[in-house]
Amino acid sequence: MELYTQLCDYLAVIGAKTVPAPVNALVDAGSAALGVSDDQVKFLLQVFACFPIGLLWRFIPSPTLKHIYSIVTSNWLCNVMVSYQWIHPLFLSVLCYVLLAVVGPKQGRYVIFVVALGYLSTLHIYRMANDYMGWKFDVTTQVMVIVQRLTAFAFNYYDGAANPKPMEDHRRGFYEQSMGVKKLPGLLPFLGWIFMPAVFPMGPFLEFNHFLKHAQGEVIYPSSPIVPALKKMGVAVIWLGVHQVGAALGLSILRLRDTEWLSQQSPVFIYPFVILAAFFTRPQYYFGFMIAEGAAIISGLGYNGVDADGNAKWNAACGIDVWSFETANTYSMASNAWNIQTSVWLKRYIYFRAPRGNIAMFSTYVVSAFWHGFYPGYYIFFVTIAIVTTQIYRRILLLVSPLLAKLPAWLYNAISVVATVGTMNYFVVSFLILDASLTWNAFASMHWFLHWTCLGLAIVLAIWEMIASPKKVAAPVSTTPPLVSPVETPKTK
């Protein structure tokens, strides 16, 4: 441990010397002007810097130079952001590469899954121990991003080199042949993919084969990505402004952590407050999704072919469909619209690889919670949503929907939207508050009214099932992956 501390101190000193004085001055000026911490200013500078950095990457002619550029640039950006902690993504990536080379693709998929998530878990625990419920940026975000890539690559390597029956069904979401990696690539392209600078700081998830085609110049773009990327950046900034307006009005979901404030509010007031506060909380995530997508677009990695009219589609890195999420009339629709690329990862490498039925759904929720960290609020949220989905939501679709379908379409849709959005905004409180006791206080202030409602529905539906014919209540197994968290998350339109 002492040796590790000495190494960290040494890397911090050396790393600080690589940051030009104007950058430090800009950070200090931004912190003073905006009234925020240095690390928040560094984060904003980093995500906006990804645009020119990603654009330059696209014009580097040699794949080898692109990989070197990616590794050097991303590690330097990480050093600026979190000092010596840049060593963690590099060490984990090299470790997983070596393990794959040693154990091979068949066992490697499981070894990498355990090692990568285990390493991330250690960082989560360290963060909780040293900055409990704090908002200071550390390297955990970047490691979360590369854990998705490392685990996906391990399964892709198995599909390409050892899977006897890789599935390819794009309609259902299987890409085991097209994403399969037949042999372990060199360390340089592997790290060039992991550290691709436009999508390293905060994602999105990026498949190796997709990256390699772009890096090797195999993809021809029918139009420039600059305008689509800048448009995405502009919309992202607008959403950040919406979030700031909500914060200025005091509409922050984090107010629910204040037990004194809760005690002064009427239970009738708190739930409407939760709805409004959640609405103004989500735009900060919209900003993150869209700014990351814009950086991917400008580098070319957001290219997704052409539409029927021959126009370029720049949605391969889409992270959020705001309208579909805000007007979701089912949990499935919300799941498909939120944190899309993380949902792709969960769907392809957890949900479809686990035993069918409820086991696949619960496994996906558990991995998603594990990936996010160990705050109790994550597990309360994911377990609650899993129970509501399997024990109530699917039964309602089976038993009640045929009756509601007799209503006018607009009324049926309105009821569905209110039920979906209303319950999700309520249950997400635990995810945002994080702490178990504070979550308890928040739900208690609302008298647990939706928990009791769901319990009552579960009892009624269970009785209904016992009375109804067994043939009519055989619940279908959904192929839609479960909802992932606001952090961080399917179809790309």
Give 8-26 pLDDT, tens digit per residue. Answer: 888 999 999 899 999 889 9
- Predicted confidence at residue 483, as pLDDT, reads 47
Average pLDDT value for residue range 72-76: 96
Work out the burial of residue 370: count CB atoms within 10 Å of its CB; fewer than 13 is exposed, 13-18 middle, 19 or more buried: middle
3-class secondary structure, 306: strand
The secondary structure of 203-231 as a DSSP string is: -----HHHHHHHHTT----SS-SHHHHHH
**Exposure letters 450-478 (e unless 16+ CB within 10 A, then b):** beeebeebeeebeeebeeeeeeeeeeeeb
Q: Against a cut of 0.85, is the pTM above it? A: yes
pLDDT tier for residue 336 given thresholds of 50, 70 and 90: confident
CB 379 within 8 A of CB 365: no
Torsion region of 88: left, alpha or beta (phi above 0 gives left; psi -120 to 50 gives alpha)? alpha
Residue 474 pLDDT exceeds 60: no
Residue among 410, 419, 411 at smallest CA distance from 392: 419
Residue 156 pLDDT exceeds 90: yes
Residue 98 pLDDT exceeds 50: yes
Distance set, CA 310 to CA 4, 118, 220 (Å): 55, 45, 13
Kindly give the interhelix angle for 208-215 and 187-194, rounded to the nearest 10 degrees: 100
Residue 271 pLDDT exceeds 50: yes
Average pLDDT value for residue range 371-388: 90
- Predicted confidence at residue 491, as pLDDT, reads 37
Q: Which residue has the higher pLDDT, 121 or 361?
A: 121
pLDDT tier for residue 470 given thresholds of 50, 70 and 90: low
Separation of alpha carbons 83 and 465, rounded Å: 58
pLDDT (tens digit per residue) in 274-319: 999 999 999 999 999 999 999 999 999 999 998 888 899 999 999 9
- Predicted confidence at residue 487, as pLDDT, reads 37
Average pLDDT value for residue range 66-80: 95
Q: Which residues pair with 174 in a beta bridge?
A: 169
Average pLDDT value for residue range 214-227: 93
Q: Report residue 350 as tokens.
A: 């957890």
Residue among 417, 260, 232 at smallest CA distance from 318: 232
CB 314 within 8 A of CB 460: no
Q: Report residue 469 as tokens.
A: 């014919």
Average pLDDT value for residue range 120-132: 93
Residue 493 pLDDT exceeds 70: no
pLDDT (tens digit per residue) in 187-208: 999 999 999 999 998 889 999 9
Sign of CA dihedral 290, 296, 113, 179: positive
Q: Which amino acid is at 229?
A: A
CB 97 within 8 A of CB 105: no
pLDDT tier for residue 176 given thresholds of 50, 70 and 90: confident
Considering the chain, what percentage of its residues have pLDDT values greater than 90? 60
User: Lowest mean pLDDT: which of 268-272, 383-387, 441-445?
Assistant: 383-387
Kindly give the interhelix angle for 87-130 and 2-17, rounded to the nearest 10 degrees: 110
Q: 227 phi and psi, to 5 degrees?
A: -65, -50
Residue 478 pLDDT exceeds 60: no
Q: Which residue has the higher pLDDT, 399 or 354?
A: 354
Average pLDDT value for residue range 153-177: 85
Average pLDDT value for residue range 122-141: 90
